Structure 1
């Protein structure tokens, strides 16, 4: 049977318990649209474990008969975000001892995982750089490197991290180069600071951008970067 953990809220404004009138509350649950303190909700004996240590959180949760998820509303993102867990104190103590016992092994595993991820990041960047140089053989080598590094930055969501970019889709790679030309080789950023709408600025500078791209393509290449002969 699937477990349904209670959800505990860290309120953004001062609230009082609807049952015992205790307040202001640091944490509460909501029952029938009314705030209820943790003591009245039979959760007062639990201790807070802030998010961040995955192994400790998992072990404390597994060892705790009763646990609850703690959330707080993020007004800017208009959503509730997890802050941590409430767990039984004995379960947390046991989890801490367990984590201390294998801390060295987990540290070595994290180091190996980090090394593998770093190697993958380097490979993604280098493959993207090679494709940029293939499509635009006249581009300066350092500029190709700069574009590849920027486009494949981990967690950026940029072209190099998309499915199209990682499959070296011609349009996606060209889009990364075009974006670099737009920002580096034209007054695009200045126009934006002057209040020119983004689409209008792009339209105004499109001929200059395409001129740079043509200069970086192969001699006698057609518009999409393929050779004619």
Structure 2
């Protein structure tokens, strides 16, 4: 039959979602939502001894695989795609009890994955906290007059996971002086100068940076002196 030629030989039993209205050649029921071809004649699932199976749509690979493993009898459901001139898998028919067992296995795996994700998240949070501490310590080494609370805030902001900020770059992870100072300058620019107001008023970015450069330098010079940041 043409469908078998167009579908992988290892698929096992094939059940079809017909594109046209078809009747069972044996019991004459129809139209059939699903059918089996026997001797080129359509048979309903009951007449083909598959009526006790339940349909599992495609989409969950693990559930499909496990349902077929658990089911003594199963079939692949296909439908012809006229545009692509081929049969495409729509799901599987499996025993209801087998589907229930497969769902339990997937739920157990889901809980294990949830616990693993939680462990990974805690580990990443610990790593991020340690890195932020190291980043803040490097800020204070370079700028001993920077208030410690401010150094911690800069470090936390610059090193936020997934932010794409300088602290997540290779240079930032290596705590290079250039990367650390870039994070500090960015913080000073936004919090200690009228830079944001200039941008909002339509001043081009490069011109805005030029206008506030002296103010940034004043703050940084103040932070290079020890003893000015002892309030944090």
| Paired residues of 2:56 and 2:93 also in contact (CA < 8 A) | no
* 47, 50, 64: which one aligns with 2:57: 47
Residue 116 of structure 2 corresponds to: 109
Taking the TM superposition and a 5 Å limit, the aligned residue runs for 1:12-51 are 47=57, 49=59
> Shift of the alpha carbon at 1:206?
0.7
Match of 2:139 in 1: 132
In structure 2, runs of 5+ residues without a counterpart are 1-18, 20-54, 69-75, 79-88, 227-232
Partner in structure 2 of residue 88 of structure 1: 91
Please say if residues 188 and 205 of structure 1, whose CA atoms lie closer than 8 Å, have aligned partners that are also in contact: yes
CA distance in 2, matches of 1:208, 1:130: 24
CA contact (8 A) 2:77 2:93 kept: no
* Alpha-carbon distance between aligned partners in 2 of 1:98 and 1:193, rounded to the nearest angstrom: 56
How many residues in Structure 1 have an aligned counterpart in Structure 2? 151
C-alpha spacing 1:97/1:169, structure 2 compared with 1 (3 Å): same
Determine which of 169, 177, 180 is the counterpart of 1:170: 177
Given candidates 200, 203, 206, the residue that maps to 1:199 is 206
Q: 1:119: which partner in 2?
A: 126
State the Cα RMSD in Å.
3.1
TM-score, normalisation: structure 2? 0.56
After superposition, the Cα gap between the structure-2 partners of 1:62 and 1:168, relative to the gap in structure 1 and judged at 3 Å, is: farther
1:146 alignment counterpart: 153
CA distance in 2 between counterparts of 1:87 and 1:217 reads 68
Largest Rg, 1 or 2: 2
- Structure-2 separation of matches of 1:66 and 1:114: 40
- Equivalent-residue separation in structure 2 for 1:115 and 1:205 (angstroms): 40
Point out which structure has higher relative CO (alpha carbons under 8 A, 6+ apart). Answer: 2
Check whether the contact 1:153–1:161 (CA below 8 A) recurs between aligned residues.
yes
Of 62, 66, 76 in structure 2, the residue corresponding to residue 59 of structure 1 is 62
Q: C-alpha separation between the residues in 2 aligned to 1:122 and 1:59?
A: 36
Contact 1:61 1:87 in 2 (8 A): no
Q: 1:179 aligns with which of 183, 186, 205?
A: 186
Name the CA distance, whole Å, in 1 between partners of 2:61 and 2:128: 28
